[in-house]
Structures are given as structure tokens and as C-alpha cells.
Amino acid sequence: MKPTLLVLAAGMATRYGSMKQIEGFGPSGETIMDYSIYDAIRAGFGKVVFIIRKDFEDNFKSIFEPKLNGKIETAYVDQDLTDFTDGFQIPPERKKPWGTAHAVLCAKDAIAEPFAVINADDFYGRDAFEKAFQFLTTDVSPKKYCIIGYELPKTLSDNGTVSRGVCEVDANGNLITITERTKIYKDAASGKIVYEESDGKHDVPDTVKVSMNFWGFDRSVFDFIEKLFRQFLTDNINDPKAEFFIPILGDDFIKKEGGTIKVIPTSSQWFGVTYKEDAPGVKQNVQKLVDAGAYPASLWK
């Protein structure tokens, strides 16, 4: 059974200021998602499921269906605030979605096989998809998941701070914990990579692996997420800003369920559009890959 690719494309893109998921960055107008799907197809994935918002579903489908028809099976799932909240009264001030782990849960009825999860607006590189495919077809189990680990210096933006899940890894290459650092950047004065918190700046070693939200799961994870989400709602239903992130389930899977999450290193250069100012650099990076023969000038022709 071929694994599925789950693309998280329902984000509100508040920092970027537009629907960046469907903006063209390739020489023939390709989105970042196009390159991820292209890499997934040539790695061997058999289906792609998009998590989207209902208000741009028609627009989204009109862009992707003509390209992907006949190339890979597709499915579309809306992430709605009321999904999996039976028995809870959602406060009227709650406007934003419940977070990435809730987005994954919304795909429960659309996925029946091992699957990978990625963000729509991150360029992950061919190597990452090939390694994820290998894991999902030979190594995944109800007690063993994976995460693709990126080299921190290859994941920074020149245009502002970024949030990164800093991975602590044991001697066997398995995840111990992920710590979300919300303000990471290269400090101009020291030349070091640092993160900021209320108590000041702290150095981050160049050698650490970070999560770019590229995960590999067994399908059994859905029941686990649903159980965790019920507890999350019990604890956070009245906090309008609380979010149920994938690292939360990863942490509980390791510490409470006795599971293992393998950190699979990749040397791929990440790039993405955290800020609108990142867009020209992304286009240049894509063009360099096309010029080097890594991708055709027109992906789907």
C-alpha cells in the first residue's frame, strides 16, 4: 500500500498577508506545494490529501485539479472549528483553528494508510520525501513514527525571526523532546544563531536538528490524536489563543505511550515564505534548482 501525503493548507497566513499557499514561485507559476507533490509522486506516494478552509475550497480545487488529474489521487478535507468538538461549547471569541494536530485529525476519514504530514508553504527538497517514503513503507508501526530533521542554519529567514521545533535526539537517533523556539535568528553582532525569550538571548548550536513539521505516521495515530484533543479541549476550551500542535502529540506519544519517533536527518536546503519579503528569494532558489536540472521548467507538462 502506497503512503499518502497530507498537506496542511488551511493556515490563515497572517504574517505573510495573502493566501501564500497558492502563489506562484516556479518559472511556470508553480506553487511551493507543486514541488512538494511532484517530489512525493516521484518518491512513490500514491495519494495527496489537502487540509483547506471551506471559504477557499473552490478556488483551491480549480488550481490543483487540472494539474494533478491522472498523476496522483487527490482528496480535500475542510478544517472546521466544530470538528471533533462534540460535547464542548465553543466560546464566541474563538475565531482561529485549533492548530496543526487538529488539522491532522480532520483527515481521519480520508486516510487509510501510513502517511506523511507537511506544511503547504515550506519547500522540503527531494531527499526528504524519498527518506519519508522509505520509512513509511518499511519501518513505520503503531509504536514508531518519524520526523524529518533539518540542519538549523538551512532553515532561517533573512527577513525576520522564525519559529522552529528544536529536537533533542538520543544516541540511537530517536527523538527525546521538541522545544518550540518562537524567535530564532542569526545575530548580526555575534554571527551566532540565537533564540529570544523573556530572559534574553540564548545561543543555539549550529548542529541541532529542527522540525519543519514534516512527520511520518501510522494510521493508528488518529485515535491517539482524538483522545488527546478531548483532553486539550477540557483544559483549554476557554483560551481563545490555545493551539493543539503536532509536537504536543509527539511528546505524549514518547512519554506516555512508550512510542518511538525516529529523527531522519536530511541535508536539504529548506526555504519558505514566512514573510512577504521572502518571496523573491524563494523564486531565485527555485530557479537555481530548475537551472541545475533538479526540476523541469514546467512541472506538469
pLDDT digits (tens, 9 = 90+) for 238-278: 998 899 999 999 999 999 999 999 999 998 889 888 788 88
Other Cβ atoms within 10 Å of 44 Cβ, number: 15
Other Cβ atoms within 10 Å of 276 Cβ, number: 15
- Name the average pLDDT for the chain: 91
| Dist. CA 36–CA 48, nearest whole Å | 10
Examine the pLDDT at 13 and tell me if it is beyond 90.
Answer: no
Calculate mean pLDDT across residues 197-210. 90
pTM here is 0.92
The total number of residues written for the chain in this structure:
301
Examine the pLDDT at 46 and tell me if it is beyond 70.
Answer: yes
Q: Is residue 296 part of a domain?
A: no
The cell numbers describing 187, all together, are: 545575530
Tell me, what's the pLDDT at 12? 40
Q: Is residue 73 part of a domain?
A: yes
Q: Is residue 300 part of a domain?
A: no
Instruction: Look at residues 245, 229, 232, 239 and name the one whose alpha carbon lies nearest to residue 94.
Output: 239
Could you tell me the end-to-end alpha-carbon distance of the chain, in angstroms, rounded to an integer? 27
| Dist. CA 86–CA 230, nearest whole Å | 9
Calculate mean pLDDT across residues 275-286. 89
Tell me, what's the pLDDT at 16? 43
The cell numbers describing 182, all together, are: 518562537
Split at pLDDT 50, 70, 90, the class of 15 is very low
| Domain that residue 273 falls in | 4-291
Q: Is residue 199 part of a domain?
A: yes
Which pLDDT tens digit goes with each residue over 98-156? 999 999 999 999 999 999 999 998 999 999 999 999 999 999 999 999 999 999 999 99
Q: Is residue 131 part of a domain?
A: yes
Tell me, what's the pLDDT at 45? 98
Split at pLDDT 50, 70, 90, the class of 291 is very high
Place of cell 520526523: 147
- Is 33 in contact with 266 (CB distance < 8 Å)? no
Q: Is residue 301 part of a domain?
A: no
CB-based burial label for 232 (10 Å; 0-12, 13-18, 19+): buried
Which pLDDT tens digit goes with each residue over 171-195? 999 999 998 888 999 988 899 999 9
Split at pLDDT 50, 70, 90, the class of 7 is very high
Which pLDDT tens digit goes with each residue over 67-113? 999 999 999 999 999 999 998 999 999 988 899 999 999 999 999 99
| Dist. CA 55–CA 87, nearest whole Å | 25
Examine the pLDDT at 289 and tell me if it is beyond 60.
Answer: yes
More confident residue, 280 or 20: 280
Q: Is residue 97 part of a domain?
A: yes
Tell me, what's the pLDDT at 22? 67
Q: Is residue 71 part of a domain?
A: yes
CATH number for the domain harbouring residue 175: 3.90.550.10
Report the number of distinct structural domains present in the chain.
1
DSSP labels for the chain?
Answer: ---EEEEE-----TTTTS-GGG---STTS--HHHHHHHHHHHHT--EEEEEE-GGGHHHHHHHHHHHHTTTSEEEEEE--TTTT-TT----TT--S---HHHHHHTTGGG--S-EEEEETTEE--HHHHHHHHHHHHHT-BTTEEEEEEEEGGGG--TTS-EEEEEEEE-TTSBEEEEEEEEEEEE-TTT--EEEEETTEEEE--TT-EEEEEEEEE-TTHHHHHHHHHHHHHHHHTT-TT----HHHHHHHHHHTT--EEEEEEE----EE-SSGGGHHHHHHHHHHHHHTTSS-SSTT-
Examine the pLDDT at 160 and tell me if it is beyond 60.
Answer: yes
More confident residue, 219 or 21: 219
Examine the pLDDT at 19 and tell me if it is beyond 60.
Answer: no
In one-letter notation, the amino acid at residue 89 is Q
